[in-house]
Chains A and B, each alone.
Chain A
Amino acid sequence: MDGKPKVGLVFFPAFDWAIAPDHPEREERLLYTRDQIREEGLLDLPEIEEFRPQLAAVEDIERVHICVPSVAKVCTESHLIAAGGTVRAGQLVTAGKTERAFALLRPPGHHALRIVHGSRGFCTINSEAVLVEYLRKSWGGRLRVAIVDTDAHHADGTQDVYYNDPDILHISIHQDGRTLYPGTGAINELGGPGAYGLTLNLPLPPGSGDPELLYAVEHLVLPVLKDFQPDLVINAAGQDNHFTDPLTNMNVTAQGYARLTELLAPDLVVLEGGYSIEGSLPYVNVGIILALAGLDYTGVLEPELPPELRQERPVREEVVHNVAFLQETWASRKEADLERVFGADEFFRRKRRLYYDTDDIHEMQLEEIKRCGQCSGYRKILSFAERYGRKPVQIAAVLLPWHACATCRHQAQEVYAILVSSTEWDYVYLQNPEDQERPLVTVSNGA
């Protein structure tokens, strides 16, 4: 050990912020976690050091999102702190201040999609993506990241942001979408034409517990990570797979989470969901912190832990089967027949309905991804959003990827010019993550 702390803890419970007074995402959420961390004396251990979050800058948000109509209108300060705190955690590790870091903060972010009309799944700004883009900018685009999302809900936001990005591997392990919000994350969602196979989804049947989660990590995540060789591994650590969580139907324990952390050994852990604020979060968070610090976590047991969850049992057959399918898919992803998956057109097009449960917004999206041999291709997104009691909004956005080829740059500008000249759109956006200075997102009011 070279003397520096093993774990940098960016703890920010936002004790003065809630979505609504009775909402699960409320002031009280990390209160008992704070109490448990303090009573366990974790902050006195030489392995652990606490840091203060910072505010994310508007350009940090714009490198990821297109906020409608603007970052200032969509974000509260709490979102900027959660994103900025995650960036802080990333800086600790990349600057070598601590070996690993844990952004233990709220509100969460993994349901925030590329286009943001409001809050969905309690999320507005995708903290992991803000961090990844921040680092990617600092490193001149040369950065490979793996995000392993272990929240019980499918990380549809993170998947959306990195769906077509060849440098970012996104693995989501979650309760089967047929039984839980947001409903996506099926095993055959494998990424866009520019990054096929770099989106992996493992739905777990309701009732799954430590054996299934740990099996998936050992037999799927670790071999894939070894193969992908990322510069940075981020664990988006939702804690709602816990057996006491009120919103899900899973059976993971604090011991399971700690073991997961130990096996995965991520550079960064970022808290996502988890709403069993008394029965789960205090214990799971202490378990994760101890595991990250390389300390003995075997004494961290929940008061309500049912004895049957401590017993060994075989992994569910369905999970073994799905892991085997994904292993095979991963191994053969480079030989996949992309024409069969995405068609032979110049553009891959998809049409989606999206629902913002938190803000009750219905959105319809039309997306086109340019099939380009030189880069991952520019994208055009048309989005129609309706929120009851408000004027519906129609926007168009043109998105350049990192390392866009000259042709895609040129065509993206042309497409943007055409959209701007139309009166059909309330706002038209052009996003280039490689721009060094603002505006990263150019806005034009078509109307």
Chain B
Amino acid sequence: MSYLIGIDVGGTNTNGVLLKEGKILATVKAPTDHQNLHTGTRSAITQLLSDLPGKEPDKVELHLSTTLATNAVVEGKGAPTAVLIIPGPGLRWEEFKLPFKLYPLTGYIDHRGREVKPLDRAELRQQLTAIKEAGYQALAVVGKFSPRNFQHELAIESMIAKDDPQLLPVTLGHRLSGKLNFARRITTAALNASIAKLQAEFVHMVQALKAQYRLGRIYLLKADGGTLALQESINRSIETILSGPAASLMGTMALADGIQDAVALDIGGTTTEISVFAGGEPLAEREGAVIAGFPTLVPAFFSRSIGLGGDSVVTYDGNRVTIGPQREGPPVALGGPRVTPTDAVLVLGGAALGNPQRSFRAIQALGAPFGCAPLRLAEQIVTAFAEKAAQVIKEIYQELNNRPVYTVSQVLTGANFQPQKLIGMGGPAVYFIPKIGQQLGLPYQVLPYHEAANAIGAAASRPTFAITLRSDTALGQLVVPELDYAETIRRPFSFNLEVAREEAIRHVLDYAAEFGVRYEPAEIELTEEEVFNLVRGFHTIGKYYSLRAQVKPKTRSIQLC
């Protein structure tokens, strides 16, 4: 692979970047057309390719970060979706506050994946009839504990394929995540089903581009900073939500040098986005992304947003300066109505922007009733900004260090997360990051502003494949839910942790190979490993293994030219 295009379809602009072996050859920018997402994409590609020197034999790989899925979910543009659920006993499904129509079915799988109650096929037929009569265009099927045993979900899918093929494709919950959380699995599968059609249309459009240009493999960026093969995104479109923030974080990683344990602040006009790096990797959300208020199981980066930005409203009561959380317009210097932190920076001579005289007068007016001189008040405002950011960062680390742990050794290890460095991005970062670093007693680095940072992030990302492997030697069962894989363990006594690890790694390799990506076993890491003796009546009857394996996350390093 020699040439690579990264494109980020953002809220306002679509940015593109053309790379060759880690070096930026060209960047482009075009306004995003929300009615027609591929217009901007197409023109970005056209421009970038026109910069390609001469005729190149190699095809160009394309990495796309799009707002398609995010917008569809946030704006509720997905198709009306019905969900067939197999809830079994427990928290009443009627209590779930979900915006999807749920059709319950009899049947019950327990926590070890044993079938306690079978499906009732006559009832299933009735529910399918009801779904068809109600006119739903999208359908998901989710059973409680389905990652432990997905036979019910598979049986429903094949029955639909046989009797009601017009309802296909259906999203099955277990394929999207091996993690336990029934309500989140319902949400994830339902959202996935609801945007599947939009995604398919988008994929067709992009494929048209592929034929038109010299494009090779095409990948879409996911919320966890990895990429997903274009074709596979039809089945797993939900994983492409929140790819914008992911692209931004990947851009940070590609542009900053030597991030190990660091806190990254993207300071914008209205908000500041805070993310965390630990051991050189961005931290992930424990369960999954939350989008438009819906908790999901979609793997995503950890990030917190606070209402603190360069344009936040400043108030002063003679004693305390308060900043944000709302924004009422641009800084006074640019004709805005209220004093902002940016105005304070201008008064202190830290930047050149608009009309600093207006900033000075506005801050003077804010301090006058309390006899506070403008320069002193400006200093106070910048300090208050830094204090607020530092306070939130401390709270985030406190929260992370208080994450529940389930073993004695983890309790004894104590605080695991400690930032060693502060990284700043965004327009106002250069003014505030040094002050915040001072508050926290941390060295800092402000990344040079790069318009195409998100596109660079998209280009820098690599495919990620992750699976869950669970085996229970007492029941003689091994499953990899994401891959529909279930096998009977024929030799339970020679099945051990080594075998479980090898199996997990093999499944990741096979999964990647299916999409044409080859990895070495050394490139696969085990991110979770649980082993328990199963003891019944004072005898060990077997072992339980639960592993998660994935391709080690990596970014390409990108050099700015």
Interface residues of A (CB under 8 A from B): 11-17, 21-22, 26-28, 31-32, 34-36, 38-42, 44, 50-55, 77-78, 81, 246, 278, 282-283, 286, 290, 295-296, 298-303
Contact = CB atoms under 8 A, between A and B. Distances in A.
B184 A81 contact: no
B91 A41 contact: yes
B155 interface: no
A287 to B, nearest CB: 10
21 contacts: A12-B406, A16-B408, A21-B533, A21-B540, A26-B533, A26-B535, A27-B532, A32-B112, A35-B111, A35-B180, A40-B90, A44-B184, A44-B295, A53-B411, A246-B537, A286-B90, A295-B95, A296-B95, A299-B90, A303-B108, A303-B116
Contacts of A40: 90-91, 182
B398 to A, nearest CB: 11
A299 B91 contact: yes
A31 B544 contact: yes
Contacts of B537: 246
A278 B536 CA distance: 10
A181 B407 CA distance: 29
A358 to B, nearest CB: 14
Nearest to A13: B406
Please give me the 7 A-B residue pairs with the lowest Cβ-Cβ distance, nearest first.
A41-B183, A301-B89, A39-B180, A16-B407, A38-B180, A299-B92, A303-B116
A58 B118 CA distance: 53
A253 to B, nearest CB: 12
Contact of B183 (A14, A44, A53, A302): A44
Given A21-B535, A22-B535, A39-B145, A300 B89 contact: yes
A5 B411 CA distance: 24
Contacts of B533: 21-22, 26-28
A433 B411 CA distance: 27
A14 B181 contact: no
Interface residues of B, number: 40
B95 to A, nearest CB: 6
B532 A16 contact: no
A39 B111 contact: yes
A28 B532 contact: yes
B181 A38 contact: yes
Nearest to B90: A40
Contact of B535 (A28, A296, A303): A28
B243 to A, nearest CB: 23
B327 to A, nearest CB: 25
Interface in B511-561: 530, 532-535, 537-540, 544
Nearest to A21: B533
B403 interface: yes
Q: Most chain-A Cβ atoms within 10 A of its Cβ — which of B408, B530, B539, B544?
A: B408
Contacts of A54: 411
Contacts of B181: 38-39, 41, 44
Contacts of B116: 303
A35 B182 CA distance: 11
Which of B116, B179, B182, B535 has the most C-beta atoms of chain A within 10 angstroms of its own C-beta?
B535
Contacts of B435: none
Contact of B403 (A31, A35, A52, A298): A52
B352 interface: no
A22 B408 contact: no
B145 to A, nearest CB: 6
A295 B183 CA distance: 16
Contacts of B110: 303
B411 A81 contact: yes
Given A28-B533, A41-B182, A296-B92, A22 B411 contact: no
A52 B404 contact: yes
A52 B533 CA distance: 25
B404 A22 contact: no
Nearest to A84: B411
B182 A22 contact: no
Nearest to A246: B537
A14 B182 contact: no
B184 A22 contact: no
Nearest to B409: A16
Interface in B92-118: 92, 95, 108, 110-112, 116
Given A52-B404, A278-B111, A299 B535 contact: no
Contacts of A13: 406
A22 B90 contact: no
B405 to A, nearest CB: 6
Contacts of A17: 407-408
Given A12-B411, A14-B406, A28-B534, 16 more contacts: A14-B408, A15-B406, A15-B532, A17-B408, A27-B532, A27-B533, A28-B535, A35-B180, A38-B180, A41-B183, A286-B91, A296-B91, A299-B90, A303-B89, A303-B110, A303-B116
B488 interface: no
Nearest to A16: B407
A77 B408 contact: yes
B357 interface: no
Nearest to A41: B183
A294 B503 CA distance: 44
Nearest to A85: B411
Contacts of A22: 533, 535, 538-540
Contacts of B236: none
Contacts of A295: 91, 95
A290 B407 CA distance: 25
B182 A39 contact: yes
B105 to A, nearest CB: 15
Nearest to B401: A52
A13 to B, nearest CB: 5
B402 interface: yes
B407 A15 contact: yes
Nearest to A301: B89
B179 to A, nearest CB: 8
A55 to B, nearest CB: 7
B144 interface: yes
A33 to B, nearest CB: 9
B1 interface: no
Contacts of A286: 90-91
B540 A298 contact: no
Contacts of B544: 28, 31
A279 to B, nearest CB: 10
Contacts of A283: 89
A16 B532 CA distance: 9
Nearest to B144: A39
Given A39-B180, A39-B182, A296-B95, A15 B112 contact: no
Contacts of B287: 44
Nearest to B95: A296
B337 to A, nearest CB: 32
A217 B95 CA distance: 28
B499 interface: no
Nearest to A33: B111
A296 B184 CA distance: 19
Nearest to A38: B180
B211 interface: no
A52 B535 contact: no
Nearest to A81: B411
B134 interface: no
A52 B111 contact: no
B402 A51 contact: yes
Contact of A77 (B179, B402, B412, B534): B412
Contacts of B406: 11-15, 34
A42 B91 CA distance: 8
A41 B409 CA distance: 26
Nearest to B412: A77
Interface string B405-420: 1111101100000000
Contacts of A301: 89
B185 to A, nearest CB: 9
A141 B532 CA distance: 44
B166 to A, nearest CB: 32
Nearest to B530: A15
Interface string B138-153: 0000001100000000
